[in-house]
Amino acid sequence: MMRIACVLALIALTILIVVAVHLDGATATLFSFIGIPALTAALALYVIQRWRVGAFRRAPRPSTT
């Protein structure tokens, strides 16, 4: 899952760099309809992966007794 998230984020970043180097209607369309969805999917996969390993679970409080 982490590898898929990395690939999607790398696709999004590649498109971003292409847009920064040469912005026109075609690259802006790529940015809007492939780059942003790819980044959103990568972010979702990363959050799910972190959630599955328990990153968002509250650590148990130490016993006071």
Partner 1 sequence: MSPAPSGPLFVSPPVAPVVDWVRVLPIVAALPAAVILVWGLVRGRLPPPMGVAGLVLTLTAYGLGMLMVMEESKDVRFCGSCHVMTPIVESLNATDGSSLAAVHYSRGLVSTKEACFTCHSGYGIWGTLGAKRAGVMHMVRTLTGGYDLPLELTGTFDITSCLGCHAGAASFRAVEAHQGPDVQQALLSHSMACTGACHLTAHPAEALTGGKGAS
C-beta of 25 vs 62, nearer to partner 1: 25
Smallest gap from Cβ 58 to partner 1, in A, equals 16
The minimum distance between CB 44 and partner 1, in angstroms, equals: 12
**Where along the sequence are the contacts to partner 1 (CB under 8 A)?**
2-3, 5-7, 9-10, 12-13, 16-17, 19-21, 23-26, 28-29, 31-33, 35-36, 39, 42-43, 46, 50, 55
SS (H, E, C) the chain: CHHHHHHHHHHHHHHHHHHHHCCCHHHHHHHHHHHHHHHHHHHHHHHHHHHHCCCCCCCCCCCCC
